[in-house]
Structure formats: structure tokens, C-alpha cells
Chains A and B, each alone.
Chain A
Amino acid sequence: MAVELDLADIQGNILTPYGKLGFPKGRFILFHIDNPDSGRKFVTGLLPMITTALRWKSSTTDIPTGKIEVPRPDVTVNLAFTWYGLLALGIPVRTLRGMPDEFIDGMINRAPMLGDDFREDWKNRWDEVWTRSGDGYGPNENTVHLLVTLNAKMNSDGSAVAALDAQTRDIETLRQETGGGVRLLTGHNLPGHPKQDFQELSAILEHNSDGTVTPLPKEHFGFTDAIGDPVFEGQYPNDYEQAVAEGNGALDGKGNWRPLATGEFLLGYPDEAQEIPGAAMPLDFSRNGTFIAYRKLHENVAAFRSFIHETAKDYAKVSGIADLDDARETLMAKMAGRWSDGVPLSLAKDVAAWKQFNIDHPGSDQMAREAALANFSFNDDKEGAKCPLTAHVRRVNTRDMMDPTGDDGSVLNNRRRILRRGLPYGDSSNGAPDSEEHGIVMLVVCASLFRQFEFVQQQWINYGLDSHAGSDTCPIVGNHSDGTPGGKNGPKAKFVIPADPSSGHPPFIVEGLPQFVETRGGEYFFVPSMTALRMIGMGVVDPT
């Protein structure tokens, strides 16, 4: 019997990447709860606004809606709480102590382990809203308690639909009606910069000749983003689910794909260890909920571009690529594991193969192309001649790379998968300097932040053992040591691009990678089910 999810009980942002599916604008809002009664009233008031996982007809894809179809909203609304937020709402201690350690710690206290401490003064380089709660453990009047995420449709001129502001006003009205016990936390900005009330988000836009704009599936460095995302049981109606599991689910040792276990992404369901993992009691408080890691990641676009520009010259010489543009594209692809338009290196190892892939899989059939972009494995490329072992995509989703016996497929990867939500922010066009605001707010969704997100971040992004690369970190999002003598991060960051031995060219080693991506803030949040939100609002969470 397949898992039948109660879609009306699950918050919609868990199952659906809104940004990719017609909601290219976003606004994330943070609150502090001074008074539990006001907080509960606020949650109850927000409840009817929340977008659940019930499906609506997609205008761009043929994803089936299943039995029940709901009207498509103009703005989606979702809620999530920090551990201190739950404490402020009066959740019983017995429930709170059942929460995972890392969630109680909070992201800032995990920063050294996550590799977010890029330099000595890293805390001064986070947005104010995330650091004003003090220098470590213990809450104060600025601790982040509640996150409201809004995703909105876009007008043809590139602005968000008016409903986004209307929704924001409704939430503000609701906040005022609660009697002043809930405060908006501002400061989505670096210290000393103008105060930002909200984290505004937008897909990167392409301006067309007719004056209209189109949202692009890109991040600021220029890579096509959000191509693959884990597929799990119950996420989609059956036939479609099996189809999208190809390349996105779990791989057995014989090349067959299946959806991952539901419990990897939702609490209260069996996971890939074939058990229902423990969760905070009562069960109906945790069930259908999950966790997210909110990560505001600044992208040093200018530094990245100039690095690629300079390094490609040497790379062209060493690897024997005649054309400098091709060398730049290849260098970027070797770092990411995908060409800038998303074509995987594993399926197209050089520029010629890349061009051929795009002829074979034209963008006119979007669904077929997406399926082709996702469906590959690493087992036939153990030395990384096509896709380097330390390339970004090979680190964050190792697929069958670590198959222990040659017959177990992705078994060592299945418990380390994360769903990626979120949108870019800021503008990096026209050579905007890196001191300006541009990057991506990434929402990492998983049932265990410790086992999934933190493991990937610590072991695979910021370490190289499983990639046979010593202490080398991810060439794109990793913590890149500047090699300061006596510094805690060791020698200068490097990245090895293996060469196909038959090519006759030596491998290429890039040394002194600058810090391309910097964490600017974030926190761990619990995303409750509608049932749990109702219980929180009514103040009836009863763990006995």
C-alpha cells in the first residue's frame, strides 16, 4: 500500500518549489513573540491564510493534481518556528525536550561545524536580524521566533502582483490586533546599512525586447538552478511520481530508480532506515511536519567572474582547449558538475558533447528536457574524468558514487537528501560590486537537519574525504581558506580537475579559490502541520 499523504494537513512549501512553479517573487518576514497569548492568537489568525499541499492546475507543466484540485492562489503563505519561538508560545517542556539538539542549538551556534565561520569577524558579516539575539545561547528580546514566507506571482513588468503587498498588510493588521505581543523583527541587512523590514526575493529576470520580463531559473553566478530535487513517496500521484523519480529518487544496484521514503522529508513516516524516527510528542504535533534550514547566501559574483576569467587562461593551456570561451564554460562546468544551462557533465563531458546534448534535447519539450537533465549516475566515472569527484553536484547528491559493493546503488546517499526551496535576492547585473546585496535565500527541507543538511554541509561540502580529496572543500559553495599562516583552516583552498588519461593532458589544479559564497544569516525552523498549528494556536499541545 503506497503512502497516501493528507495534503490538506501539510504546508505546501514542503512538497512544492513555488519559485520554480510560477511564483518567482518572494517576501520572508520574521517576528518575535513577547506574549504567549498574543502569539497564539497570531498563529490562529494566520491559519486560514496558509497554503497547504493541495494541488492546483499548473499553467506551465503537466504535473497531475490528483483527486482534489484547489484554485491557484496569487500569493502563498507558510509558517515556521524556531525552538525559542515554540518556547515563547508556551509549548510544554515535554514536547520541547523531544526536539532535536541541532534545532534547539540554532544555526548560529552550529556555525563552526557548518563551516560558516569564514573569517574571524564572521558574525559582523551576518544580517543584523540574525545576530542581535546575542553571542551564543539564551534568548533575548530580538530572538527570531516566527518565519512567515510569502511567494507571489509576477506582473509582466517584473514586479510582484499587488496581492503580495495586500497579504503583507493583512498580516500586519492581524499582528496589531493581537494586542502588541508580537513584534516584527527588522534588519535583513548588514550592520550599518539601511534597515530592511523584510527579506525581498526575486527570480533573476530577463528583459525582453517587447518590454516584458521573464523570470529565469538561474542563480547569480549564471548557473541554471533547482534542476534536480529529491522525489519521495506520496509527493505526486503514482505514475507521475515514478516518472520523476528517475534521476531524482533512490537508485538500486541495477539502474532502477524509486521514490525515496516519505520519512526522509516528513515526520511521522517510515524513512530510509525502514523505521519511523522519534519525534517530539504528541505524535500529531510532529506528524506531517518537518524542518527547514534558512540560509541567506551572499554570492561574490564579481570575484567569481574575474576568477573564472583569469583561471580559464591557464586551464585552457593545461587541458588543451583552444577557445578561451570554451575554456571558461568548461571550467565553470567542472566546478559545478553541470554546464551553465544545467546539462550534466556526466552526460556531456566536453563542449562538443554539450552542444550535441542540446540538439538532442531541445528546450521546446521542457518536461522531456528536465527528465534528461536529472537522469544520470556517477558509477561509470569513478576517476572523475567527466565530472570531477569534488564538483558541486557530485558532493551534494552523491547518487551511486559511494556504492559500497557495486551492487547497492545510492544506499549511502539515500539518508542524506535535502529538498531545496527558496529564491535569489538582489541584483548582480551590470558588474555590480560584491559589496552590494545579491545571492540566494535557500530553504533546505529535511526531516533531520543533523543527519541530512548538516551532514551534507560538513562532510561533503566542507570536507573531501568521501571525494578522495583530503580537505578540499566544494569549489563553489565551500569554505575557501585564504591560507593565512597559523589560520584555523589550513593552506589555500584548491580544486583538482582530473583529466581523461586518454586525452594526453595532465590534470589541472586550481589554487587560491576566493570565497565565492558567504553565509549572511539564517536559522533552523520547524514547519508544523496544519493540525499542529491549530494546536499551537489553541494552546492545547498535550504530550501526555
Chain B
Amino acid sequence: MPTFDGGHYFLTVLVPVRTEPIKDGTAVTSPVHALRKQLAMLPTAAQTPACGGGQSPFARNTRNHFARFVIIDDTNYNGREQCNVLWTVIRKINPIVAQPQDHLTCPFLFFGVDFDAASAADTERDSYLATLWDTMQDELQRIFTYCVGFDTNVSDAASFAKYIARCQIETTMSFNDYYVDSPLPLLPVWPADKNLIPAGAGAVVFLLGLIVFCFMSGKAGFIVMLLGAAVLAAGLWFAYSSLLAAGGKPFPAAPDSNLPAVLKALHLQRTFTRFAIDNQLLAADPESAHQLHDAFGIFVAANEPENLIGPTQQPGIIGI
């Protein structure tokens, strides 16, 4: 189930954008234009000074890994559907007459987030959305006000969660980048031999029935064939549904892959590099072993490697 995979919830939302012109200051404009302007003014992240110094409002909670807004204006038109020239002539298709084209009735705001969650339960999604509302209500209001039904239906965290849930679609392809070692041993298994036995048995019974039908008793053979066909069909259905069920099992969470653990790891990586640089001459001299040991003790005490909440890196930034 790709909406939830590897300890991360992959939320995909498509919200319809209003179409009637609105007033943006003194100018009359379209909601999608005003929405684009709002999104353009939203700070991305303070990853480097080159980002401009603003901090993304998504950095205010510690469950976000990635969040993205995209405006989808309309479906793409790939051009005329081509068919064989002879077929065109035979069917008297006139290539000058345009084929029907698909269009959206309004633009949509795509909202995709990858956040930490314990399970695929709706309560996990709703608790995340409630946190989002509590930490960036102003920004959310400024963005979603251009979407259909937001102003009339959303007034608090619960109604925001309900509004987003209504617009959620299934995530069919998620991207999880936190496995360092090969996760192959953790993949859900689907033992082909075991799952194909019923279908195989059905096929054998069917063949047996066929042999009986042809060479021995027509009636008995027919009944056995019927029985075999039924078992084969049921067996195939069993194999198919067990395959889908195995594929639907979420990938287990990679070790230490929630945001607090990732931030702590970055903090330790940086502070330990500092420690290594400062103490490498001690490491070179066996007589300084005690001194090095003491220094490492101070490092551990100061940085508390096991404490995810303790000394750590703030979200939304890189380095110091």
C-alpha cells in the first residue's frame, strides 16, 4: 500500500481551485493567479544562505520530510491519436476534423507530503494535518482560500483534516530514500510454489477429467473436468489475490528513519567530525589513550547520542 510505506505516510491531495475572478488588492484577477503568487512568496527552506534566509513553515513540526505544492492547470494534450493510414481510408476518418480533447473543469492544487507515521490509519493522517494546522494555520489559510469550499468549510484543525481527507487520492508510487543497506531480506515474500498449488491441483484434476472424458466415461469425465475447472479458477483467484496482498504490505520502516532520528544523525555526524579533528593527534599517540577516552566521554555527555530530543539539529537547515 504505497500511501503508507517504510514508516512514512505519502499523502497525495488534489484540491479544486476556484474559477470566478477575485479581487487581489485593487486588481481583479483569477484565483489561480493569486494562488501562484502566494506559493511564490512561501519561503522554501533555509538550507543555505543562498535560499534567501526565510524558513519554510513546514520546518515548524518534526514529522515532515518533503512537502510540495504544484498547480495543475489542465490535462496535457499529446496531439492527435494516430492510426494506420489504410484504416483511416477504410473507416473514412477525416484527419482534418479535430478529435475530442480532454480538459479539466478547473485548475487543481496538488499537495504532496511525505511525513512520519506509525501506520496507514486515517487517525495518523488527521493528527498530522492537525499539527500542520496548529503550526502554520496562517500560511494554509492564505493558500487554500483560493480553493473550492475552503472558506465555508474550514474553521479549525478538525475541519481542515476533513477537508483535506475529502480531496485525498491514493498514492500509487512512493519514494523512500532511507535504506542504507539492501532491504531485500525485508521484502514481503510470496512463495510461488505454495500459492500456486491450488491452481496446479485444479489443472491436474481438469486434465484427468479430460482423459476420462475422452477414453473412459463421458459423463464422469465431464463432472471431473467441471470440478477441475472450478478448482483451477478458484486457485488462480487465490494466487492473484495473495500476490496483491503481498505487494500491498508496507515496507518496514528503515532503521532510524523518522525525522528526529535523521536530524540527530546529522547533528552527531557534524559534532563527531569536529571531535575527530580536534582529537586526532591524541589518537595517534598510545600514551594519550586515557586523554582520548576522557575527551570522548565529554563528547558523549554533551551530545547524548541516544537522546533524540536532546542536542540536535533544527529541521529545515543544513549544517550550522
Q: Which residues of A contact B (CB under 8 A)?
A: 314, 317-320, 471, 486-488, 490-491, 494, 505-509, 511
Contact = CB atoms under 8 A, between A and B. Distances in A.
A488 B50 contact: yes
B28 interface: no
Contact of A491 (B48, B276, B280, B320): B320
Contacts of B284: 317-320, 505-506
B307 to A, nearest CB: 24
A511 B277 contact: yes
Nearest to A471: B319
A122 B319 CA distance: 25
A509 B273 contact: yes
Contact of A509 (B277, B285, B319): B277
B283 interface: yes
B48 A488 contact: yes
| Interface SS majority for chain B | helix
A318 B277 CA distance: 11
Contact of B319 (A491, A506, A507): A491
Interface in B239-298: 273, 276-277, 280-281, 283-285
Contacts of B276: 507, 509
Contacts of B281: 314, 317-318
28 contacts: A314-B280, A314-B281, A317-B281, A317-B284, A318-B280, A318-B281, A318-B283, A319-B284, A320-B284, A471-B319, A486-B49, A487-B49, A488-B48, A488-B49, A488-B50, A490-B319, A490-B320, A491-B319, A491-B320, A494-B273, A505-B284, A506-B283, A506-B284, A507-B276, A509-B273, A509-B276, A509-B277, A511-B277
A491 B273 CA distance: 12
Contact of A506 (B48, B273, B280): B280
B7 to A, nearest CB: 24
A508 B280 CA distance: 7
A488 B53 CA distance: 11
Contacts of B320: 490-491
Nearest to A488: B49
B277 A494 contact: yes
What 10 A-B pairs come out closest when comparing CB atoms?
A: A318-B284, A317-B284, A506-B283, A488-B49, A509-B277, A511-B277, A318-B280, A490-B319, A509-B276, A317-B281
A314 B280 CA distance: 9
Contacts of A487: 49
Contacts of A507: 276, 280
Contacts of A508: 280
A63 to B, nearest CB: 47
A471 B318 CA distance: 11
B279 to A, nearest CB: 10
A330 to B, nearest CB: 15
B47 to A, nearest CB: 11
B53 to A, nearest CB: 11
